[in-house]
Amino acid sequence: MEIEDNHRADSKKILRRKLDLLLRTGKILVESSADTSRIMRNMKRTAAYLGLPEEDLHIHITYNMLMVNLSDGTHSFSKFQRCDKHGIEMLAISDVSKLSWSAIREDYSLDRYEEELNKIAQRKRSYTPWQVAICAGLACGGFCVQFGCDWTAFFYASIAAAIGFRLRTRLNEIGSNGYANVAAGAFFATIIAWLLGMFSTSALVADMPQWAASMLQTGTPWHPLMACTLFLVPGVPIINFVNDVLDNNIEVGIVRGINTVLIVSAMAFGIVVAISVCGIDNFVKDLSMTPHHPYWVYAIAAAISAMGFATIYNFPPKQLWVLALGGIVAVCTRNFINLGPSNHNIGLDWGPILGSLIGASLISIIYIKVVHWVHLPHQCLSIPTVIPMVPGVLMYRCLFALLDMHGVVGELTVAMYNGIRASLIVLVIAIGVAIPNIFARKWIAPNRQRKLKRLIEERKARGKFIDLTTVE
């Protein structure tokens, strides 16, 4: 009897450890901003490795809490896990996916699985804070070129954005409120962009030698103010919000959507205060965003932006070139569909909504094949690539117009026009990323499911699955 009791106690201890490992796996994915469907797939695959029968396993995912229950109708075991530190870690998402397959294929021991999981959770980022800040700044400079600025303004936008990004990161590190940090980053980035724009048109620069003046003067001094805060646009939460809603994960999607609105609102507030301090008016209302560059300029700007945002998301450094090529394909396709004779450009002139849909869909379809070459999840490749197409300027133009109303006829119409256009473009970008992958999964998933089923049957034959009747 004592031996049997000891055996059951050991079985309970092992079961609790397995549930804990399953929750810790899910926690890394939640806090790394994986979409809910991916979190569920990876947790179920991990559960198969841990020997937790899928028919008895119940997983519930929310934005701040993970819950798992193992129950056969007679015996029931539950465990919870808080998820508080939300960031974006593409490398962690990729490594957890690889670990879940390797563990079940190579029959990892629990100790080895836990060791590998701890490495993922405790690993330092691939880039230093200043490297990320500089790359984020260059990404915003790439946005500025997409809006039609010259290369001098590109550097001004990059400098302002890099300083604003580093300030926001430092405020996050010391623990101040995240939304206040967004507002502070937007405020200081806008102030610096304004100062640099004033400097470029000042008499001081005009009196410099010709070679120096030509380097410092810009014909588009106001464009950096539009682009210098776009590192704050929550592109990944926006796309995850739409993906979750489309995949019927409504609860998590709504929370992500509300978080997105709060971030963009804080960003707009910081810009509004900066504009008020500087005495600037109308640049967010009237300044044209239509570029008139050759397509090779768009290509360079798109590659810079895609790689720059990828460093913010801690994308593997060795694969950055894949995102650079993807950004070129997506953005140049979008521009060719969007621009045209009506705005004195080369293209089909079908507008930004169709352009964004086709650009995002095309690169998503291409990446369905690329994932097998670079061994990275589709989400990790496609989302950083399409971020340069997210209409951040339209978002804060909408909110700025709402905050800056004076009762003039047409103000609400302007705000709603920008808001509706921004919402539709975000929606079609997310659909472009998600729908091709959803359709392709119908062909890819059967092969993966057969492979996983075979591995599970082998593990069951070796007695690796838990029988709850022996636990309680």
Q: Are residues 251 and 322 in the same domain?
A: yes
305 is a domain residue: yes
Residue 99 sits in the same domain as residue 156? no
Mean pLDDT of 68-85: 87
Average pLDDT value for residue range 59-70: 93
Residue 453 lies in a domain: no
Same domain, 147 and 110: no
Is it the case that residue 2 has pLDDT exceeding 70? no
pLDDT at 297 over 90: yes
- Predicted confidence at residue 401, as pLDDT, reads 75
Residues contacting residue 213 through CB under 8 Å, at least 6 positions apart? 205, 206, 207
How confident is residue 380, by pLDDT bands cut at 50, 70 and 90? confident
Is the separation of the CB atoms in 66 and 30 below 8 Å?
yes
Residue 418 counted as domain residue:
yes
Residues 362 and 276 in one domain: yes
Last residue of some domain: 87, 106, 124? 124
Q: Is the pLDDT of residue 28 over 90?
A: yes
Contact 50, 18 (CB under 8 A): yes
Does 70 fall in a domain?
A: yes
Note down the domain range covering 100: 1-124
- CA gap 10, 442 in Å, rounded: 41
Between 9 and 349, residue with greater pLDDT: 349
> CA-based Rg of the chain, rounded to a whole angstrom?
25
Q: Look at residues 70, 93, 124 and tell me which one is the last residue of a structural domain.
A: 124
Q: Of 124, 148, 164, which marks where a domain is finished? A: 124
Percentage of residues of the chain with pLDDT beyond 90:
43
Same domain, 96 and 228: no
What band does 466 get if pLDDT is binned at 50, 70 and 90?
low
**DSSP element (H, E) containing 92:** helix 90-106
Q: Does residue 223 lie within any of the structural domains?
A: yes
Query: Does any domain span residue 7?
Result: yes
* Partners of 69 in the β-ladder: 58, 78
CB 80 within 8 A of CB 65: yes
Return the pLDDT at 462. Answer: 63
pLDDT digits (tens, 9 = 90+) for 183-237: 999 999 999 999 999 999 888 888 888 888 888 999 888 889 888 998 988 888 8
Please tell me the total count of domains within the chain: 2
Note whether residue 306 is domain-resident. yes
Q: Please indicate, yes or no, whether residues 80 and 200 belong to a single structural domain of this protein.
A: no
pLDDT-based confidence at residue 307 (cuts at 50, 70, 90): very high
Question: Residue 441 pLDDT more than 70?
Answer: no
Q: Is the pLDDT of residue 114 over 60?
A: yes
235/114 same-domain check: no
User: Whole-prediction pTM value?
Assistant: 0.88
Same domain, 82 and 143: no
Most confident listed range (288-302, 388-402, 423-437): 288-302
Q: In this model, does residue 117 exceed pLDDT 80?
A: yes
CA 216 to chain centre: 34
Of 64-68, 178-182, 246-250, least confident by mean pLDDT is 246-250
pLDDT at 136 over 70: yes
* Highest mean pLDDT: which range of 86-90, 185-189, 395-399: 185-189
pLDDT tens sequence across 365-378: 898 888 888 888 88
Q: Average per-residue pLDDT in the chain?
A: 86
45 has a pLDDT exceeding 60: yes
Specify which of 16-20, 240-244, 246-250, 424-428 reaches the highest per-range mean pLDDT: 16-20
| Residue 405 pLDDT level (bands cut at 50, 70, 90) | confident
Count the alpha carbons within 13 Å of 322 in the hemisphere toward its beta carbon. 26
> 92 and 165 share a domain?
no
Residue 308 has what pLDDT? 94
pLDDT at 9: 64
Between the CA of residue 338 and those of 30, 227, 233, 272, 348, what are the distances in Å? 35, 20, 22, 29, 7
Q: Domain for residue 193, yes or no?
A: yes
CA distance 144 to 314: 23
H-run or E-run covering 71: strand 65-71
| Average pLDDT over every residue of 271-296 | 78
Query: Is 80 exceeded by the pLDDT of residue 267?
Result: yes
pLDDT band at 362 (very low <50, low <70, confident <90, very high): very high
Please indicate, yes or no, whether residues 378 and 258 belong to a single structural domain of this protein: yes
Q: How much is the pLDDT for 277?
A: 85
> Do 168 and 306 share a domain, yes or no?
yes
Residues 405-424 have a mean pLDDT of 79
Residues 199 and 306 in one domain: yes
* Cβ-based neighbours of 339, under 8 Å, separated by 6 or more: 290, 291, 345, 346, 347, 349, 355
